[in-house]
A = this chain, B = another copy of it.
Amino acid sequence: MRFLPILFVLILAGSSLPAQEKISLKYIDAADLPLTGKAVKTRYPYHRVDTSAYPALPPAVKFLLTESAGLAVHFTTNSTQIAARWCVRAEKQGSNLTPIAQKGLDLYIRHNGKWVYAGVGRPGDSCGNAVLVRNMDHSIKECLLYLPTYDETRSLQIGVEENASFNALPDPFRYRLLIYGSSITQGAAASRPGMAYPARLSRETGMNFLNLGLSGNGKMEKAAADMLADIPADAYILDCVPNPSPVQIRERTAYLVRTLRQRHPKTPIIVVQSVVREIGNFDRAAGARVAEQNDEIVKQVTRLQQSGVHDLYLIRGRHLLGTDHEATVDGTHPTDLGFDRMLQELRPVILDTLRRYGIR
């Protein structure tokens, strides 16, 4: 096609809104601010765990814990415009993720007590420079800005009008509810960072669901169990069943659960079965595998409960994605539709379990 390059710009620029006036902004470096959603303090602020203390962790786990899934910046400003400049490691684009989810930003503003979507930061290749929302009134707004789910955030500066206020705030969410899981926990395939299910749970409940999802690598290794036990929490939610093989589930569940129980004698441990895999609708091998994983986790949790491990719960996952087979991007990873259905099932059960421990 002869008119290509110009048209790319025309079409991708896309927005048919009128041109915007230039507003002078000041930029605040988020590395100096408290972060929301941190399980532990880290040397590099946007990492989830500093894995130098855990040399035995598999390299893939160490790599994934440098990704900023679930982290956010909490602040107030009376700026009418909120912008950002940020850089990421620039990992290969996932075929099942939007660039916004993988390496973009996602902004919410509290309105009448609820967190309401305000705008996204569309990423560049490795660095983005975007206005997330403009044309707001001059009232003071309480903001929550989510970082990329599937990339390492290397720098982040938040832009507000030169004369506007900017006040960093601590994590707004109560308790520490740690979710150890798979790519699904990490946020695949939410459409934007704040739609990952732990983030949605936090905004909806006001409680802090900490994202330790590890894409393809929530495999319950001994080193991962030891790391998790080092992280204090009010509940441990284990949503990792999709990643380990049935044999690994048989071999590793007891160590993980017993280690957590020993180090945190009264803390509830909630194990979640795997969502159905729609790739198994016709692929008999894939269908059999997830059935075996789910059977095996039931066996292991039951055995542990029978052997006297208390405060240990299992949530079964039969219809977590509904029944129309339309809730994943690729047969494995829930879309926002899949996560919405998952939360409708999981949220009441999780909240009910937590309530028994005074966590509400």
| A341 CB to nearest chain B CB (Å) | 9
Q: Which of A279-287, A303-311, A350-358 contacts B (4 or more CB under 8 A)?
A: A279-287
A31 at the interface (CB under 8 A from B): no
| A6 CB to nearest chain B CB (Å) | 8
A314 at the interface (CB under 8 A from B): no
Contacts of A53 in B (CB 8 A): none
Contacts of A200 in B (CB 8 A): 326
A109 at the interface (CB under 8 A from B): yes
Cβ B8 vs Cβ A91 within 8 A: yes
Bound complex: CA A66 to CA B11 (Å):
13
Contacts of A93 in B (CB 8 A): 93, 99
Contacts of A137 in B (CB 8 A): 284
Bound complex: CA A272 to CA B20 (Å):
28
Cβ B98 vs Cβ A104 within 8 A: no
So how many copies of this chain end up in the complex? 2
Cβ A284 vs Cβ B136 within 8 A: yes
Contacts of A278 in B (CB 8 A): 117
| A245 CB to nearest chain B CB (Å) | 7
Interface centre among A89, A136, A152 (most CB of B within 10 A): A136
Cβ B215 vs Cβ A14 within 8 A: yes
Contacts of A329 in B (CB 8 A): 98, 100, 120, 191-192
A228 at the interface (CB under 8 A from B): no
Chain A interface size range: 35 or more
Bound complex: CA A16 to CA B92 (Å):
19
Contacts of A217 in B (CB 8 A): 11
Return the chain B residue nearest A3 by Cβ.
Answer: B59
| A87 CB to nearest chain B CB (Å) | 14
Cβ B14 vs Cβ A122 within 8 A: no
Cβ B116 vs Cβ A11 within 8 A: no
| A44 CB to nearest chain B CB (Å) | 11
Binary interface encoding of chain A residues 1-43 relative to chain B, with 1 for a CB under 8 A from any of its CBs, else 0: 1010001101110111100000000000000000000000000
Interface centre among A60, A64, A191 (most CB of B within 10 A): A191
10 A-B pairs with the lowest CB-CB distances in the bound complex, closest first: A191-B329, A336-B337, A95-B122, A135-B285, A335-B336, A337-B337, A95-B99, A191-B335, A135-B283, A117-B325
**Subset of 27 A-B contacts with CB under 8 Å:** A1-B89, A7-B60, A8-B91, A10-B59, A11-B216, A12-B94, A14-B216, A16-B244, A17-B286, A94-B98, A95-B98, A95-B123, A98-B98, A98-B329, A116-B282, A117-B325, A119-B282, A119-B283, A120-B329, A120-B330, A120-B331, A135-B284, A200-B326, A335-B336, A336-B337, A336-B338, A337-B340
